[in-house]
Amino acid sequence: VTSPLFPKYKWLVEQSSGANQSAESRRYDQSNFTQRVQSFCEYTKPETESLVNGNQHSHASSICEKYRIGKVIGDGNFAVVKDCVERSTGKEFALKIIDKTKCSGKEHLIENEVAVLRKVKHPNIIMLIEEVDTPSELYLVMELVKGGDLFDAITSSAKYTERDASIMVYNLAGALKYLHSLNIVHRDIKPENLLVFEYPDGTKSLKLGDFGLATVVEGPLYTVCGTPTYVAPEIIAESGYGLKVDIWAAGVITYILLCGFPPFRSENNQQEDLFDQILRGRLDFPSPYWDNITDSAKELIGKMLQVNAEARYTAQDVLSHPWVTDDAIMENNMKMEVTGKLKTHFNTAPKHSTTTAGVSVIMVNFRDRKTPFIPVVWAALHLVSFKPHLHHFLLYSLTSSPHQVTPPIS
C-alpha cells in the first residue's frame, strides 16, 4: 500500500504528557537542572544491568558517557525532557528526567506507565530505549519523534485522500491489535497521541505514545478517564470497560479523518449534552460533508462505534475490513474540505516546534465506582501535554482537549 502522503505505511505515533501545574511551577530552573544532571552522571547504581525492550538498563554514569545531553524540548509537572545524541552513532533520542520528589503519593502511576512501556516493542509504538532509576530521579531514554501529529500531517500535505485516511486507520488498528494481544488498553487514543515519524530514507510512519493512562486489563475497569470527544460510552456509564474503549476512540478518529469534525458534538459545547450523545450513539453522516465518502467507510465507522461493546469491532476486525484492505478506495482530494473543518472544530494552529518526546507521566484522580456519576468530576481530572519548550502549555482537562473545540457544523 502506498500513499502520496505516506509513501510506505508503517503509521502510528507518540505524544508526551504530564500533570496539571501552575505557570510558576512550570518554569524549570536550568541551573538546578544542570546540577541534577551532574549528580546523576556521578551516581553509580549498585545493581547489575538488565534489559529493557532488548536494550540495557544502564548504570546512571553510563548514560552521560553514552549520550551527549542537549537542550530542553519539553517540560511538565514532574519531568523535563531534553534531546540527547548517542555519541557513538550520532542518533538522536529524548532523555526524560522525572523528579520523584514531585510525584509523592503518585508513584504507582509512573511505575504503571513505565511497566507498560517495558513490555511493548512495536514499530508503531514509541520505544523505551534505556532507563536509570536513582534515589531522586527516574531517567528514561526514549525514541525522539520530530514530526507533527495526525492533524498536522493532513493540514501540511499537498494532497489528502480517502486512501490516505484508510492507511492511517490501518496502522492505528495494527498498533491496537498488538497492545490488545498483551491485554493492554491505552485509554487515551486521540490524534494528539499519533505523531509522524520520518525515517532517514524519507518514508513516514505513525508512532503511538502517551501511555500515561495505559494499563493491563485483568477484569472490568471503572476508572473514569480519557478525553471527552473520544471517550467510550461504557466509561461514562461506569458500567465496567475493557480493551474495546480503544476501538471506540479509533472509530471517532476515523470519522474525523473523513470529514474534519467529530461524530458526537454539543451545539452549545456542553459536556453533559456531549456525554448524552455518546451514550445514545446515534451516528449521522450529514450532507454535503459525507456525500463523496464511500459507503464502506461509513459501514466500518458504524461497526467501530457500537454502544454495545460486545458488538463493537475488534482491532483485527478493523484490519480485515474491505475499506482498510482495498487498494481501490477513492483517490479524490479531500484536503480543502477536511482541513477547513479541522480548523473550525479543533486547534490546529502551527506549533513553534513539532518536536515531541518521551513518555507521559499523568496524575489521575481515581473515583469509587459506586459514586453516582457527576459530569463536573471530569473537570477535576487533568492531563497536561509535554509541548515544545517556549510553546504555551496546553491543559488536557477532561472538559476540553488541546485539539478540541466543538461548535455546531457550519
Which is catalytic among the residues 75, 152, 188, 246?
Answer: 188
Q: Name all domains of the chain by residue range, CATH numbers in brackets.
A: 17-145 (3.30.200.20), 150-397 (1.10.510.10)
| Residue 388 confidence class, pLDDT cut points 50, 70, 90 | very low
Q: What is the mean pLDDT of the chain?
A: 75
| Residue 379 confidence class, pLDDT cut points 50, 70, 90 | very low
Q: What is the mean predicted confidence (pLDDT) over 377-398?
A: 28
Q: What is the mean predicted confidence (pLDDT) over 372-390?
A: 31
pLDDT digits (tens, 9 = 90+) for 85-103: 999 999 999 999 989 888 8
Q: Does 96 appear as a known binding residue?
A: yes
All cell numbers assigned to 37? 544532571
pLDDT digits (tens, 9 = 90+) for 44-84: 443 334 445 555 555 666 788 899 999 998 877 788 989 99
All cell numbers assigned to 153? 500531517
Please give the pLDDT value at position 41. Answer: 52
Whole-model pTM? 0.73
Three-state SS sequence of the chain: CCCCCCCCCCCCCCCCEECCCCCCCCCCCHHHHHHHHHHHHHCCCCCCCEEECCEEECCHHHHHHHEEEEEEEEECCCEEEEEEEECCCCCEEEEEEEEHHHHCCCHHHHHHHHHHHHHCCCCCECCEEEEEECCCEEEEEEEEECCCEHHHHHHCCCCCEHHHHHHHHHHHHHHHHHHHHCCEECCCCCHHHEEEEECCCCCEEEEECCCCCCEECCCCECCCCCCHHHCCHHHHHCCCECCCHHHHHHHHHHHHHHHCCCCCCCCCCCHHHHHHHHHHCCCCCCCCCCCCCCHHHHHHHHHHCCCCCCCCCCHHHHHHCHHHHCCCCCCCECHHHHHHHHHHHCCCCCCCCCCEECCCCCCCCCCCCCCCCCHHHHHHCEEEECCCCCCCCCEEECCCCCCCCCCCCC
Please give the pLDDT value at position 255. Answer: 97
| Residue 250 confidence class, pLDDT cut points 50, 70, 90 | very high
Please give the pLDDT value at position 341. Answer: 85
pLDDT digits (tens, 9 = 90+) for 106-161: 787 788 889 999 999 998 899 999 998 888 888 999 999 888 888 888 888 888 88
Please give the pLDDT value at position 60. Answer: 62
CA distance 86 to 75: 21
pLDDT at 393 over 90: no
- Among 135-139, 144-148, 282-286, 339-343, the range with the most confident prediction by mean pLDDT is 282-286
Please give the pLDDT value at position 362. Answer: 30
Using the Cα atoms of residue 301, residue 307, residue 309 and residue 310 in order, give the sign of their dihedral.
Answer: negative
Q: Report which of residues 139 and 4 the model is more confident about.
A: 139
Question: Is 188 annotated in the active site?
Answer: yes
CA distance 260 to 340: 7
Please give the pLDDT value at position 199. Answer: 77
Percent of the chain at pLDDT > 70 equals 69
pLDDT digits (tens, 9 = 90+) for 165-201: 998 899 899 999 999 999 999 999 999 899 888 778 8
| Residue 237 confidence class, pLDDT cut points 50, 70, 90 | very high
Q: What is the dihedral of CA 218, 381, 256, 189, to 10 degrees?
A: -30
Q: What is the mean predicted confidence (pLDDT) over 232-257?
A: 97
Q: At what angle do helices 335-345 and 245-259 cross, to 10 degrees?
A: 120
